[in-house]
Amino acid sequence: MFSTTDTIVAIATPPGRGGIGVVRLSGPDAHAVARRLIAHDAPLEPRHATFTLVRLPPSPLRGFGGTRNADTTNDIDHVVALYFPAPASYTGDDVVELSAHGSPVVLRAIVAAAIDRGARLAEPGEFTLRAFLNGRIDLTQAEAVADLIDAATPLQARAAFDQLQGTLTRAIGEIDAALFDLIARLEASVDFPEEGYHFVEAGELAAAIDRLIARLGALLVGARRGRLVREGLQIAIAGKPNVGKSSVFNALAGASRAIVADAPGTTRDLVTEVVDLDGLRVTLIDTAGLRETGDAVEAEGVDRARQAQVVSDLTLFIVDRSQRLDPEDILQSTDNKRLIVANKADLPPAWRRDDTVEISAKTGEGLDALRTRIAQALDAEPLADRPELTNVRHIALVQRAHDALGRARAAALADGGSLSEEFVLADLQDARAALEEIAGRRAPDDLLAHIFARFCVGK
Ligand code: GDP
């Protein structure tokens, strides 16, 4: 399904304009294709920056610079060319990176020219996929690349970078090696039954399995927090029109993205913003005003607002402290995933209640207290250290290995250790299969396709 024999090309830098833009080529012909794109007329020296020109042949059809005179060269930009011969490159193939000015027009012309000269446009994540297929990195490290690029908080970025550096790979690898050793000894017992003794005594076997269970258990303990770091949380901001939802959203987000207006019902769709709330990735969702409405567009918005509240980890239910309170507003908001926020505390109060957090989105009063209350409500312990296990896929597989080892241990001790080793072996093999799947050694193509689809082109 995945080819590694052709040469791929893509813009590696984000869409848009910038000081520098990079076009990356990877594959057996990367160097040859690159040389056909640049003025430099010698082979590129490995890992040396070569300052040169991108020189496209005159092409009346493509017409970049539009010359029709075949004698005139068509230089389109200065570039720095970098050549990384296989296998010491990002992908493990020959790689050439051309750093031009960050102009989408120039970069696209370079990519088009590279395709003309034999390269193929890369699929999303294909550079990283190649690194995985070529054995440069394992699957957890490939996933870490996507996480690092996606990180919204410094803690997320550090956890992803640890994973990219192989912390998880090593932790799992050590457990896997110990498991392998145990399996080998047990298999010896099974293979030589005529020897008449067990290579591994039941008690020793159970103790060895216990040690592995403890190591997996330690990883799982940090997993809830790890998931929190990686995936972050969702907070929906709800309430009746004009109570100040958009203003609270903006005050928490620290940026004015939502529309703040005096006319009720202006926030018709869901507006989201990812913010760093004390190290936690939090997606704030500003919902449309919750009220019955005849307007179809607004009704759709209200419906989505209700859904957002259902899937969110917490709802900030905003009420206006300067207006008379309709008791129904609070009656319907009893669930503990909800924090009642009494906004407009800068205005004379129309009521007061103990179970609310008083703030003013306008003056910023009470916002710090609100952040603290949010952290408490989400039960998010201080997130100072970096969790090893952050990804649901890994967590599920570690759990599967953990459970299989639990069964293996029970089998080892069953009937005073008289049970055949083969029962224990089957569970140990199952545990090992789960661990190997984490690193991607047994990953089926559709899983790989799913994981790499998360990337964008050029990664
Ligand atoms: P939404 O419809 O619930 O999203 O409410 P908005 O955020 O659009 O705010 C409605 C109106 O209330 C706007 O005129 C805001 O300027 C005003 N407003 C919001 N928060 C405060 C506040 O804390 N104090 C005061 N005095 N006015 C506020």
Judge contact between 258 and 249, C-beta under 8 A.
Answer: yes
Between CA 230 and CA 135 the distance in angstroms is 25
Residue 280 has pLDDT above 80, yes or no: no
Which of 28, 39, 54, 47 is CA-nearest to residue 120? Answer: 28
Assigned token pair, 43: 């082979």
Which of 341, 387, 417 is CA-nearest to residue 171? Answer: 387
Which atom, in ligand 1's list, is nearest to the CA of 347? 26
The predicted-structure confidence for 385-397, as pLDDT tens digits, reads as follows 677 898 999 999 9
pLDDT band at 288 (very low <50, low <70, confident <90, very high): low
Q: Which of 245, 247, 252 maximizes ligand 1 atoms within 8 Å of its Cβ, making it the mutation to test the pocket?
A: 247
Query: Cβ neighbours of residue 415 under 8 Å, at least 6 residues apart?
Result: none
Residue 168 has pLDDT above 50, yes or no: yes
Judge contact between 143 and 231, C-beta under 8 A.
Answer: no
Distance 249 CA to ligand 1 centre (A): 11
Q: State phi, psi for 362 to the nearest 5 degrees.
A: -75, -50
Judge contact between 39 and 50, C-beta under 8 A.
Answer: no
Assigned token pair, 287: 């919902």
pLDDT band at 295 (very low <50, low <70, confident <90, very high): low
Furthest-apart CA atoms within the chain: distance in Å: 91
Check if 260 has its Cβ closer than 6 Å to any atom of ligand 1: yes
pLDDT band at 441 (very low <50, low <70, confident <90, very high): confident
Which atom, in ligand 1's list, is nearest to the CA of 241? 2
Q: 213 in helix, strand or coil?
A: helix
Distance 263 CA to ligand 1 centre (A): 10
Which protein residue has the closest C-alpha to ligand 1 atom 22? 344
Which protein residue has the closest C-alpha to ligand 1 atom 5? 244
Q: State phi, psi for 259 to the nearest 5 degrees.
A: -80, 125
Between CA 257 and CA 20 the distance in angstroms is 28
Which of 170, 151, 130, 166 is CA-nearest to residue 448? Answer: 130
Distance 243 CA to ligand 1 centre (A): 6
Check if 366 has its Cβ closer than 6 Å to any atom of ligand 1: no
Which of 222, 216, 223 is CA-nearest to residue 406? Answer: 216
Judge contact between 374 and 275, C-beta under 8 A.
Answer: no
Distance 242 CA to ligand 1 centre (A): 6
Q: State phi, psi for 442 to the nearest 5 degrees.
A: -120, 25
Q: How far apart are the first and last CA of the chain?
A: 19
What was the pLDDT predicted at 103? 95
Check if 365 has its Cβ closer than 6 Å to any atom of ligand 1: no
Check if 261 has its Cβ closer than 6 Å to any atom of ligand 1: yes
| Cα–Cα distance list, 331 to 327, 340, 370, 393, 428 (Å) | 6, 11, 21, 40, 54
Check if 41 has its Cβ closer than 6 Å to any atom of ligand 1: no
Between CA 77 and CA 55 the distance in angstroms is 8
Distance 247 CA to ligand 1 centre (A): 6
Judge contact between 34 and 96, C-beta under 8 A.
Answer: yes
Between CA 83 and CA 28 the distance in angstroms is 12
Assigned token pair, 86: 């296989």
Judge contact between 432 and 183, C-beta under 8 A.
Answer: yes
Distance 374 CA to ligand 1 centre (A): 21
Residue 237 has pLDDT above 60, yes or no: yes
**pTM as predicted:** 0.75
- For 56-71, the DSSP string reads EPP-TTT-SS----TT
pLDDT band at 69 (very low <50, low <70, confident <90, very high): low
Residue 263 has pLDDT above 50, yes or no: no
Mean pLDDT for 277-290 is 74
Distance 233 CA to ligand 1 centre (A): 25
pLDDT band at 444 (very low <50, low <70, confident <90, very high): confident
Check if 243 has its Cβ closer than 6 Å to any atom of ligand 1: yes
Residue 304 has pLDDT above 50, yes or no: yes
Check if 268 has its Cβ closer than 6 Å to any atom of ligand 1: no
Average pLDDT for the chain: 84
Dump strand ranges (E) for 29-118: 50-56, 74-84, 95-102
Assigned token pair, 222: 């940090």
Between CA 214 and CA 219 the distance in angstroms is 9
Check if 343 has its Cβ closer than 6 Å to any atom of ligand 1: yes
What was the pLDDT predicted at 121? 96
Which atom, in ligand 1's list, is nearest to the CA of 360? 23
Q: Are strands 233-239 and 280-286 parallel, antiparallel or unpaired?
A: parallel
Distance 322 CA to ligand 1 centre (A): 11
